[in-house]
């Protein structure tokens, strides 16, 4: 799937400037929240998401309800942030940005 940069940062619900910073500065490490949002926006697999998180110094945790929900969404190909946020909100977990 070929996506334009604008499609990626809009799907991820992140600011254009932050996206540009991530793309242009190889030493910049985004927050776990941002890395997960980008993983969803790019429709990454579980393995690809784990690799992206590791490159930013983060990891998914099987002991965190929010991470388990996000992993469920990835495994079931639920990538739309609005849908993911609805599931997170249902379980009273923090949602992504102001997408909801």
pLDDT of residue 2: 82
Average pLDDT of the chain, as a whole number: 94
d(CA 72, CA 87): 10
Q: What is the pLDDT of residues 39-90, one digit of tens each?
A: 999 999 999 999 999 999 999 999 999 999 999 999 999 999 999 999 999 9
pLDDT for 100 beyond 70: no
Integer angstrom CA distances of residue 15 from 2, 19, 36, 44, 83 = 20, 6, 15, 20, 20
Residues ≥6 apart with Cβ < 8 Å to 36: 49, 53, 70, 96
């Amino acid at each position: 799937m070929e996506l334009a940069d604008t499609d990626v940062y809009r799907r991820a619900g992140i600011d254009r400037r932050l996206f540009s910073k991530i793309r242009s500065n190889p030493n910049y490490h985004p927050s776990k929240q941002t890395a997960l949002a980008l993983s969803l926006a790019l429709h990454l697999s579980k393995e690809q998401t784990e690799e992206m998180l590791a490159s930013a110094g983060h990891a998914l945790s099987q002991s965190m309800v929010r991470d388990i929900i996000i992993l469920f969404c990835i495994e079931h190909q639920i990538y739309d942030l609005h849908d993911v946020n609805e599931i997170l909100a249902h379980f009273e977990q923090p949602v992504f940005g102001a997408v909801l």
